[in-house]
A and B are shown apart, each in its own frame.
Chain A
Amino acid sequence: MTMTDQVGPDLKTTDIEGAIDALKDMFPGVVSDDTREGYSGVMVDADKLVEVATAARDQLGFDYLSSATAVDYGQPDPDNPIDDPVIDGSMEMVYHAYRTSGGGALAFKTKTDRDKAEIPSLIGVWPGADFQEREAYDLFGIHFAGHPNLKRILLWDGFQGHPMRKDWKEAYYEQETKPFDSRWPGGHVHRAEEKNAYGKNVRYPADFDLSKLNDTSEDQLYAGMGLGVDIETLSGEPHMKTDRLVVNLGPHHPSTHGVFRMIATIEGETVNTLEPVMGYLHRNHEKIGERNTYLHNMPFTDRLDYISSMGNNFGYAMAIEQLLANGKRYNPPTYRAEVIRVLMAELTRIVNHFWSIGFLLNDLGAFFTPALYAISEREKILDFFEAAAGSRMMCNYMRFGGVAYDVPERIRSVASLVNDQVRDFDTMEYLTELINERLPRAIDELDRYLTDSEIVRSRTIGVGYLPPEAAIAYSTAGPLLRASGVPYDVRRADPYSIYPELDFDICTRDNGDIYDRYVIRLDEMRESIRILKQVLPRLEKTKGEDFFAGSKQHTPRVPIGEAYGRVENPKGELGFYVISAGDKKGTQNPWRYHVRAPSFINLTPLGLMSTGTKVADVVAILGSIDIVLGETDR
């Protein structure tokens, strides 16, 4: 307390440099500048990490932990050493904390030894670090002292090794980085499964013993749920003969929107504890990303949140553009490119919220009629995406410095496999009609259809409450955060692209329940329409201008350094943390490529929200968070 009085309240509003200086004053010798080339933020000694984080939160006002991730600076190949002092054989945790009042990131890092990696857990400071630390433990093998539930989260418990470490090689390992030498000039064609060590079908090696397979995931999981406790002693009711019942929802269950599992202990119909189990769709997107060249990753980002691929492209392009901006030959995206990007991002938001509302109603038991009504207008938006980018969902539309192609003058289909000349619209007319007439009409219809419905209201109002303090502490983002009354939106808090010149409001709702999360999506769609109405004249005005800056390179060399690019995706804050290291002249492949996935982190408070609700409500709560498993499991 006395500390707070001494430093005064202005520390909570000071800029990032001021905040860093204050931290260095408070912790001399513990906090130091990160002096590596292209890096920013501070280095913190591991043994004082919790104190520094607490000070950053309480005294400097960085109450929102956006991203926590690990980086392995290990040597990939001892025979082929890399001349780069950054790669010093250590491991590091990188934290990006923000203020919910807006502004840039306080990035702080903690180094640890690679062989005996241990870092204190920040779960006590920001509970939102929970899943992210478990992910770092799972993929990097860093132990977090003080984490109450430190176990694997994406992989199964018997998995050998920690795959994001640089010395871990995956199945069918061919070469450290793409492009592979075997493809050209002497292309040896082969199918991946022909290289399968276990033959055409699975055949186990001679010394393999299935009974020795050590998978304790389930045991650990149930132990973590507090099972084995006698319910009679717990309730103090000697006559009550009841067991604590374990219910597994999923992984194959229509309510879970994919392969996702919730394990709940229930008493009667009431949920006591609930834990999400994920990773069934895990493909180690980040490891693939580190093998890829920078450009290769763009279509892979489509597959994260596949409902809103344009937004994913946007975030990734911005992260790499930040890195490129340190180099000299880079040109920032042109104005037209920014206009097109915002057009696509906002249309994507509408697409996503239609989906999300439609499926929330599915989860409430209104099987598919609301969902189909909601997504019928989405088709018209996807038609435009297809005409502009070539694909309805896997758009792969943005590039570093602009977009791949200009918006077409006409949305035209030509002689296809059967149909001949079946579509030909002027793009501007199409968009004008869509944005001014059809989409508002569809949103209003959805509003009329659902908002006042007594069934929807009685199922959703007051259910799944998330208080604003918890929403911030648990690092939730997007509609989930704003429905709890926290007006935090990256488009305004840390503006990017042409959002500062656009007139729109950040929607909030105060009750933090499922109903508000539904209504806020309607609000946000209306705000998106408002933005789109301002974007259209800009699109018309910039017609014919460059949509791409500079010349396109198929394997750009990216200057060394780090970057954290984030956008307000429909599901929440989507961040890409990218490190370019290993080659002074710039690299072709990222050293580290991390996705701060809103679908993943928004699940952290699921257990909190579900406790005390009915089983059927859990499904609705999950639906109101709006996850896509492609992004959750990565």
Chain B
Amino acid sequence: MDGMGIGILKGLGVTFKHFVNTFVDDAKYAGKKYFNQDIFEERQGLSAAGAYTVQYPEEKIAVPERFRFVPFLVVNDYDAEDKPGEDWCTSCGICAKVCPPQCIWIVRGEDPNTGRPVPQPEAFYIDIDICMNCGYCAEFCPFDAIKMDHDYELASYDRTGHHIYDKQKLSKEYRYWYSISPTRAVDEAVERGGWEHKDVIKDKKKAAKQAGKEWNPDFSVYPGDLRGTQAAEAEAPVAVVEEVAPEPEIDENRIERIRASRQQALARRRQRDG
């Protein structure tokens, strides 16, 4: 052979370096490599060396602002001054048209007396099994009313019953959108000319003009943040809040709980297998 095995040794050197680096990296963090917020950021960055494992589900890789998963519908904050919980969707149907796998069904609202369409969807369904997470609906919605979510944990035990999301399940507060994607939320608000829905801004601008005041919203801070969240919860229709806008789960003992349930499952299996 040409190299008399030198090439293999060179290659093995690379493997050995990787092997050592992993331990060097472990040693660097002195046992605090996992479940550690600051180090997690470093490990996900460009300075990371050596192999590492993300301890899912205790740890999760952070998703960037533009990350897109199954869409949700934006509604007014439940503690908003006027029309809390109102849909931003005007049932114009653009999302249903631009959806490549055609997984969106919208029933346009109609005035029961006149029969004319009203700018509110009567029903809104998304089949999340069909959704291909392309993000067109959010991209082309003229009212910023449909947005892509960051919640990718949608597994359920029964897909037939649970995977067609209705309006209630799809609706989330504007505050939630602001919380998962602040940069884009501000950019869009600046483009709309205010924090509110396009149509509301139009009315408010008109009112401000009549009152002789200048329409000059403050984009540096989201008004929802100023409102006390606790007061908000008291005002909001409680049942809907629980169903519709689940707050991000804050559970101190989550990791412990998951571990415990795993242990239990293992124990059960051992028992079964004898």
Contacts and interface: CB of A to CB of B under 8 A. Distances in A.
Interface of A: 178-180, 182-189, 191-192, 292-293, 295-300, 369, 372-373, 376, 380, 383, 386-391, 394, 396, 404-405, 408, 410-425, 430, 433-434, 438, 445, 448-458, 552, 554-555
B64 A412 contact: yes
A375 to B, nearest CB: 12
B40 A422 contact: yes
6 contacts: A185-B107, A187-B125, A192-B130, A295-B136, A389-B66, A452-B3
B179 to A, nearest CB: 6
A414 B182 contact: yes
B33 interface: no
A564 to B, nearest CB: 23
Contacts of A552: 139-140
A420 B105 CA distance: 35
Contacts, number: 204
B14 A423 contact: no
B180 A396 contact: no
A448 B14 contact: yes
B239 interface: no
Interface size class of B (residues with CB under 8 A): 35 or more
Nearest to A391: B68
Contact of B37 (A300, A373, A417, A419): A419
Contact of B10 (A297, A411, A423, A452): A452
Contacts of A438: 46
Interface of B: 1-3, 5-8, 10-11, 13-15, 18, 37, 40-41, 44-46, 51, 57-68, 91, 93-94, 96-100, 102, 104-108, 117, 123-125, 127, 130, 132-136, 139-140, 148, 150-151, 153, 160, 164, 179-183, 248, 254
Contact of B106 (A185, A372, A410): A185
Given A415-B248, A417-B248, A422-B37, 5 more contacts: A179-B97, A184-B105, A416-B150, A448-B14, A454-B7
A387 B8 contact: no
B162 to A, nearest CB: 12
A184 B108 contact: yes
Given A185-B108, A396-B134, A411-B64, A423 B18 contact: no
A405 B66 CA distance: 10
A452 B11 contact: yes
A449 B254 CA distance: 42
A420 B180 CA distance: 11
A142 B7 CA distance: 53
Given A191-B160, A454-B5, A415 B44 contact: no
A415 B60 CA distance: 11
Contacts of B41: 421-424
B102 A555 contact: no
A298 B181 CA distance: 24
Contacts of B2: 454, 457
B180 A415 contact: yes
Nearest to A296: B100
Contact of B153 (A178, A417, A425): A417
Nearest to A552: B140
A455 B8 CA distance: 7
Given A413-B64, A423-B44, A433-B46, A185 B91 contact: yes
B64 A423 contact: yes
B40 A419 contact: yes
Contact of A394 (B5, B108, B134, B160): B134
Contacts of B40: 419, 422
A416 B62 contact: yes
Query: Of residues B14, B127, B180, which shows the largest number of chain A Cβ atoms within 10 Å of its Cβ?
Result: B14
A418 B45 CA distance: 18
Nearest to B104: A183
Contacts of A369: 15
A456 B63 CA distance: 38
Given A183-B106, A386-B64, A414 B45 contact: no
